[in-house]
Amino acid sequence: MENQAANVVLATRTALDQAAALAVTYGFSIVGAIVLLIGGWILSGIISRSAYRVISRIHGIDETLARFFQNLLHYGLLILVFVTVLGQFGVQTASIIAALGAAGLAIGLALQGTLQNIAAGIMLLVLRPFRVGEYIETASVKGVIREIGLFATEMKTTDGLYLMAPNSTLWNTPIVNHSREASRRQELSIAIGNDIDVKVAKKAVLNIVSSDERIKSKPAPRVFSDDLTADKTVLKIEYWANTREWSETRHDVIDRLKSNLIEEGISIK
């Protein structure tokens, strides 16, 4: 029994001695790792916030894109700090970096479609072919932009429906932006009987169109003969109006043409 007790005491002392040796050996490394983690966390936050302030001041950079780069830089620095800490304990960081690279490649292949949307979202936010509040039209979708995200763009159709379009579908197709330019040309066509003097009809139409204050004087409205048949002459009207008032101006001009031409005895076919 005495021998067993002595062996237990000896084993305990040996374990304590080994623990003390390990504490002395790795104590400074542990303290250094903690300091490095805390300092790295604080420094990465400072650097990422500073980068955000710089990026957000660049003309044309969207808030979403600035935040994305901020988070990307922040977490990238944290990964670098974590790998550096492991290196303090003798861990082969080269193998860790290789593993992270392989994992990143596997994730990239698995999320190929998602990454395409992110890349397209970044390009849309940088080049800005459309902005929030603008009305766009593509071969597959059309509507007013409500939000431009990194994965998809939210839109509202003209009949009030919610529409979400993946960014890759918007980036890889021609986009017609109906709201970007301040003014827009309008074309109308009316047909008059061949018994009407064309010159008189053109003058009457031009006076009616020009009387609308919303229609631009430069370039000036135009009225010209566009087609001729056995019983009618087709007149084409071209004018420019503010983009925001384009639809309302069109409707009002059509109503005014119909009522005023009838009053002047010019029949419309």
For the record, the structure tokens of 135 come out as 């009305």
Closest C-alpha to 181, from 244, 229, 234: 244
Rounded mean pLDDT, 60-69: 69
pLDDT of residue 193: 87
- At 184-239, the pLDDT tens digits run 999 999 999 888 889 999 999 999 999 999 999 899 999 999 988 888 999 999 99
Q: Is the pLDDT of residue 63 over 80?
A: no
Q: Is the pLDDT of residue 109 over 60?
A: no
**Burial of 239 by CB count in 10 Å (0-12 exposed, 13-18 middle, 19+ buried)?**
buried
More confident residue, 48 or 207: 207
Q: Is the pLDDT of residue 81 over 90?
A: no
- At 145-155, the pLDDT tens digits run 998 888 899 99
Q: Is the pLDDT of residue 16 over 70?
A: no
Rounded mean pLDDT, 246-250: 92
Structural domains in the chain, CATH included, are: 2-110 (1.10.287.1260), 130-177 (2.30.30.60), 183-263 (3.30.70.100)
Other CB atoms closer than 10 Å to residue 232's CB: what's the count? 18
Distances from the Cα of 121 to the Cαs of 60, 150, 169, 221, 230, in angstroms? 14, 5, 10, 40, 55
Q: What is d(CA 39, CA 43) in angstroms, rounded to the nearest whole number?
A: 6
